[in-house]
Structure formats: structure tokens, C-alpha cells
Amino acid sequence: MLDHYTTPGESIEIRDNQTIYSLLTDRLARTGADTVIAAKKIGPGRWQNVTTGEFHERVVSAAKGLIALGIAKGDAVTIFSSTRLEWGILDFALAAVGAVSVPIYDTDSAPQAQRIMNDSVVKLAFADNRERFDRLDSVKDHCPALKQILMIEGNALGALEGLGVTVSDEELHERVATVRTDDLATIVYTSGSTGNPKGAELTHKNFVSITISASQALHEVVLDDHPRLLLFLPLAHCFARFIQYASIASDDGVVGYLPDTKTLLPDLRSFEPTYLLGVPRVFEKVYNAASHKAGAGWKGRLFVKAAEAARVWSRKEQAGEQHTFAEIAERAKYETLVYRTVRGALGPKIKYVACGGAPLSLDLAHFYNGIGLPMIQGYGMTETAAPFAATRVTDNVIGTVGQPAPGSSIRISDEGELQVKGPNVFRGYHNLPEKTAEAFTADGWLRTGDLAEIDDEGHIVITGRIKDIIITAGGKNVSPIPLEEEIAKCPIVEHCVVVGDQRPFIGALVTLDPESLALWLPAHGLSTETPVDRLATNAAVREEIQQYVDKANATVSRAESVRKFAVLDTQFTQENKCLTPSLKVVRPAVNRVFADVIDNEIYNGKR
């Protein structure tokens, strides 16, 4: 194992006038007449193609409108919207005029939006629909700097276009020329899984550098052979924002904006993406849906055998071993009967899937890799403009999150913490100089808060979070994440949170997955109408989960094993503060909200 590593290659050289907006104008100069956007229209399977030239015209109109509204360079402007074409237009328009975009998750409450807008002194806000407009309007009087809220579905872009006719091309060009690569581009508020959200200040250089370097490292995915991306992750998240830029910065990439996922499967078939981004839960649901669809009869047994064969195939490939003739013949059979159908659920042209935001189980990664759909895994933070490292198509080492971008560096501290350095590392937290100082070491490395190892070829293996380590009353240090990942493989489990800090033994809280339950219950002689509180104590449900608890316990010592678990009769949600907008579990909130369950059902009131 290494304690530091720098990926070979020169760091990306960024010119002083390279900005987020220049990613679009560079594409315009190369392929202005080609399609760059496919916007979702009303009705399944209906897409509106937009050329680079048309997209740029709309960005220019919006940028002129912003100038006419008095938005100066450095002014903060909020976008409070689902993922949609207008989000992209406003994003590039704000970048063009040097304004600072302050995205807010479309699920955030009015008080959360108020806090963010006041902290960043937002002067103008865009909301996509009436409901979100009203959320902002309800706190407008408590946001002294906020002058106006415009509604996208109320023709906000049309209003900007009308206002912008008073602004000449020369005036716009003069403004664009004042924006430099080191200028502040956006303040992105972290999801707050470990406390109050902090505003990460990211420059144009942060995003441009990682867009260019990641596109080079993953050119097979985002550059080669007419790439198509269906984007449904929230653009308030840096991960989605970065891949939007990477798609638009390519020569012929097309990004499709999907405002909601209610019709995701038919939309995947009609849009025909070549690659997808998602969090682990998306890919778990696809797997579970395929498994449940196969059922419990011979098709179900076939799926189980095919899935195991895929994992074996992948593990042998990873180990560099040759496949036997029997395995090759078996794979051909499963390709026809199972694998092609699973891949087809993600679209007929799908080639790659990329996963980030949370750890993905090794079994699931091997499954997708084994059915011919390489799972690119990445690692990053809001503070690194999303990705910092990723596995490569030609070096996809499952179990790692890959190597950093060319010229970027990683190291492991004496405490086992992963620390990083590169051109995409943010400049600090907005209005929080002490937190900024805490985020960096004395010699300028960003502290990630993650425990990790670096193998001999520079691949990063994340082993846990420093703050997530549980210390039992007996003094045993336990990393909860591996246990949680194993238990969460249970098809009827939505989330698992391991508890036990300063307690006599390790326990777990489990929530049930409503979608999977609807398929699982009839197969086990139970009604889909059974109330959740009864399911939480149902013997068959607990037996199903216990199997996965036993598998998790088999990987650790007795002192680290889960002795008791409680099945909750409710979900982790953003409303009860147990999930962030990017669907990460907020461990402190779970411990607080379900304190009575932990005390009474797991530990019987004993400390």
C-alpha cells in the first residue's frame, strides 16, 4: 500500500479567460449546427432537440436580460428548480455575465432556502413552478437582498429576452470579457449530512479543469461514438452539474434533461442514452426489479444462476483469469435469456453506467460488469466540484474508486484520512473562515474526512468515515459502513443504519422499501395492504432481513457483529431530516429522531 500518489500526466493548463461559459462557446465554434440538448416534452417518449447554436442563442438572450435587470458581476442569483432545459440555460447565462449561481435543491423547505439566500446575499431568484415560487415568496420579506423572484413556468426566460433587447452585443461581450477563470462561479451548499450546510465557493477554474481532465480520462464514456446522457439527478448537486458541462463540452455529446423520474423506464427507452449517472439506490432498484420480475419459479431460479454467473465472470476478469469453455457457453445462454433484458431496461444503446454519491456494494458492481455493463465508480465532494477520482474503462478495478485526474494528488495521513490536492479543489467556505482553515492542512491539502487506503497502482479504497466510527462501551472501534452495505442488499430493505456508540453491543435500524415490498409480499403469502407497523414485527419479514444480518456478521468479529435490529414503521426522509437532498443518510439525525426505538427496542433502556 502507498501513502501518497500523483496520477501521471500534466495538470490541465487553464487559460485566464476559460470559464464555464467558454465551454459552450468552444463547442459552438466546433459543432454549432449539431444537437446538444434533448429537452423532455409533455408525454412519454417525446423529446425536443436543440442545436448548440439554438441553445447558445437562448443563453445569450438570458444573459442580456440579467444585465438589463441590473445583475452585476459577482451578484448572487438562485436557481430553485428541478433538472430541466431552463436550468442549463440560466446556469450558462449566469456564468457568461460573471454572476454567482446559488442553486437550491428542489426539495428544500422555505426556511432552508431563506438561510441559503441570506447567507449568500441573493439578489434574484428563479423558481421553476408555482409551488416552489410560493415557497420562496413566503420568505421573501425575510431576505433583505432579494429583489425579485421569477417563475420559469411563468415565462421567466421570455421576460429576460424581452428585457435584454435593450442590451447590445457589444455590452454583453464587454461583460463576458471581464469574467476570469479564477472568479467565483457558484456557491454550492453541502447537503449537511454532518451538520448545518456550508456554502462551498467554487471558481470557474474548478469546474473547467475537472470537466476537461475527466473527459480525457473517461473519453470512451463522454467523448467517443456519439455519447448520449439522460440526466435526472438534481443539478443543484455538483455531480450532475459537472457531467452536464462534460457533455456540452464534447464535440457531439447530447444531454437530455429529465424533470422527474415518474416515467423513467419508458424515457430511457425513447431517449436511448449511451451512459447514465446514478446513486447506488438507482442501480439497486434496477437489479431488484429484474429479480422480482423473474419471480420465484423457474425464471426466478434462472435469474439467480445468471446473476451469480455474471459475478463469477467479472471476478475472474478482474483477477486476469481465463474463462472455461463451459463458462463461455453458459454466458451465451444467459446473455440471450437474462443479460440483454436487464441492460435493455436502461435503454437499447446503453454502454456504461457511472455511480457516485455513496458506496456501491461489490456484488452489485460485479453483477453489472459481468452482464457487459461496466460500472464506473467515482469519488468526490462538493468541495472538489464533484469528481476527484474515478475508475477508468480500461482500468476498472472494482472495489476501488479509481485514481485521481492526471496531475492531481492524493495522500493518506497518519490517522488514515484521505487528503487531496488539485485544480478542482474549492477555495473555501462562504463566510466561514474558521471552517475553511479546518478543511485544509498546514501545507494546503484538503481533508476529506474519509478513511482510505491507496493500492500500489494508486487506486483509492474508501474504508469509512472518520466521524462514523462507532466505539462500543467495551472500547471496540467499529466501522458501520461495511455492515450497512451488506444488510442493505436485502431486497426489501431501503436503508440500514448501524448504532452502538458507547453501548454494550452493535445494533441496527432498518427501513423497508415500499416498491420491493409490493412484489415480495404476495410471493410470501402476505397482503400488499398489510400496514407497515405490522410488517415491522412480522416474522417472515424479520427472517428475510436476518439472513442478510447473518451475512454481514460473518465478515466481522463477534464484538463488531449486529446483535439486534429494529425494523422501523416509517422511512428516512428529508422531512424528518434523516436524508439529505442528495439522498445521503444523516446519521446524527437518525440517532436523534429514533432515539426511543434505539433505547427501548434494541438496548431495552440499558446503557
Higher pLDDT, 61 or 503: 61
Cα–Cα distance measured from residue 569 to residue 185, given in angstroms and rounded to the nearest whole number: 43
> Are 410 and 517 within one domain?
no
Residue 345 to residue 373: CA distance in whole angstroms: 12
Confidence band for 562, pLDDT divided at 50, 70 and 90 = very high
Measured CA to CA, the distance from residue 383 to residue 389 in angstroms comes to: 13
Question: Hunting for cell 446556469 — which residue is that?
Answer: 91
Residues 91 and 240 in one domain: yes
Report if residue 521 sits inside a domain: yes
Domain boundary among 430, 450, 466: 466
Sequence-ordered list of residues with C-beta below 8 angstroms from that of 211, at least 6 positions apart, any chain: 23, 242, 245, 246, 249
Looking at 234, 258, 273, which one is the last position of a domain? Answer: 273
In a domain, 171, yes or no: yes
Per-residue pLDDT, 607 = 47
- In a domain, residue 201? The reply is no
pTM of the full structure: 0.86
Pairwise pLDDT comparison (402 vs 557), residue with the higher score: 402
Give the three cell numbers for residue 505.
Answer: 453491543
Q: Quick one: 462 and 570 in the same domain? A: no
Q: Indicate whether 358 pLDDT > 90.
A: no
d(CA 95, CA 2): 40
**Are 419 and 478 in a shared domain?**
no
Q: Is residue 209 part of a domain?
A: no
Average pLDDT over residues 113-141: 97
Confidence of residue 10 (pLDDT cuts 50, 70, 90): low
Tell me phi and psi for residue 227, to 5 degrees: -70, 140
Other CB atoms closer than 10 Å to residue 263's CB: what's the count?
A: 14
pLDDT, mean of residues 82-100: 97
Q: Which helix (H) or strand (E) holds 284?
A: helix 280-294
Distance CA 243, CA 231 (A): 9
Report the run of H or E that residue 136 belongs to, with start and end: helix 130-137
Provide mean pLDDT across the span 118-122.
98
Model pLDDT for residues 569-588, shown as the tens digit of each residue:
999 998 888 988 777 888 88
Look at residue 528 in the predicted model and tell me its pLDDT.
Answer: 87
Contact between residue 452 and residue 479 where contact means Cβ atoms under 8 Å apart: no
Segments forming the whole domain that contains residue 67: 20-179+226-273
Q: Give the dihedral sign, CA 62/67/72/77.
A: negative
Q: Render 203-244 in DSSP notation, one character per residue.
A: EHHHHHHHHHHHHHHTHHHHTSSS-EEEE-S-TTSHHHHHHH
**Whether 404 and 492 share a structural domain:** no
Which residue, of 419, 439, 466, is where some domain finishes?
466
CATH code of the domain containing 56: 3.40.50.12780
Return the C-alpha cell found at 439. Answer: 478543511
Neighbours of 349 (CB within 10 A): 17
Q: Alpha-carbon distance 30 to 18, whole Å?
A: 16
User: Which stretches within 440-580 are classed as H helix?
Assistant: 480-487, 514-523, 532-535, 539-553
Residue 141 lies in a domain: yes
The number of helix segments (H) and strand segments (E) in the chain equals: 23, 26
Domain membership flag for residue 14: no
Q: What pLDDT is stored for residue 605 in this prediction?
A: 62
The arithmetic mean of pLDDT across residues 227-251, rounded, is 94
Crossing angle for the helix pair 52-68 and 156-164, to the nearest 10 degrees? 70
One domain, residues 441 and 412:
yes
pLDDT at 597 over 70: yes
How are strands ordered across the β-sheet holding 446-454? 4-6, 409-412, 417-421, 446-454, 460-465
- The per-residue pLDDT for 260 is 85
Q: Which of 369, 455, 363 is nearest to 418 (CA)?
A: 455
Specify the DSSP element, H or E, that contains 353. Answer: strand 352-355
Are 253 and 330 in a shared domain? Answer: no
Which tens digit of pLDDT belongs to each residue from 181-209?
999 999 999 865 555 789 999 999 999 99
Q: What is the pLDDT of residue 278?
A: 86
Asked whether residue 53 falls in the same domain as residue 122, the answer is yes
Residues 386 and 296 in one domain: yes
pLDDT at residue 606, rounded to an integer? 54
> What integer pLDDT is reported at residue 542 of this predicted model?
95
Per-residue confidence (pLDDT) for residue 191, from 0 to 100: 63
Q: What is the pLDDT of residues 13-60, one digit of tens each?
A: 899 999 999 999 999 999 999 999 999 876 667 899 999 999 999 999
Q: What is the DSSP letter of 257?
A: E
pLDDT at 288 over 90: no
Which DSSP string do the residues of 80-112 spell out, in sequence order? E--S-HHHHHHHHHHHHHT-EEEEE-TT--HHH
Higher pLDDT, 428 or 283: 428
- AA letter at 429: Y
- For the segment 238-262, the average pLDDT, to the nearest whole number, is 93
Cell (9 digits) for 498:
448501524
pLDDT, residue 195, reads 57
Residue 475 has pLDDT above 80, yes or no: no
Closest CA to 492 of 542, 422, 432, 539: 542
Complete edge-to-edge strand list for the sheet that includes strand 76-80: 148-151, 122-127, 76-80, 100-104, 184-189, 199-203, 428-429
Question: Within a domain: residue 2?
Answer: no
Task: Say whether both 253 and 376 belong to one domain.
Answer: no
Please indicate, yes or no, whether residues 385 and 506 belong to a single structural domain of this protein.
no
Residue 250 lies in a domain: yes
Summary mean pLDDT of the chain = 92
State how far the Cα of 381 lies from the Cα of 132, in Å rounded to an integer: 27
Q: Do 416 and 493 sit in the same domain of this protein?
A: no
Please report where in the chains the cell 501521471 appears, as a residue: 8
Q: Is the pLDDT of residue 336 over 60?
A: yes
Q: Say if CB 499 and CB 506 are below 8 A apart.
A: yes
CATH code of the domain in which 535 resides: 3.30.300.30
pLDDT, tens digit (0-9, with 9 covering 90-100), for 518-546: 889 998 889 988 888 899 899 999 999 99
Give the number of domains in the chain: 3
Q: How far is the C-alpha of 454 from the C-alpha of 3, rounded, in Å?
A: 7
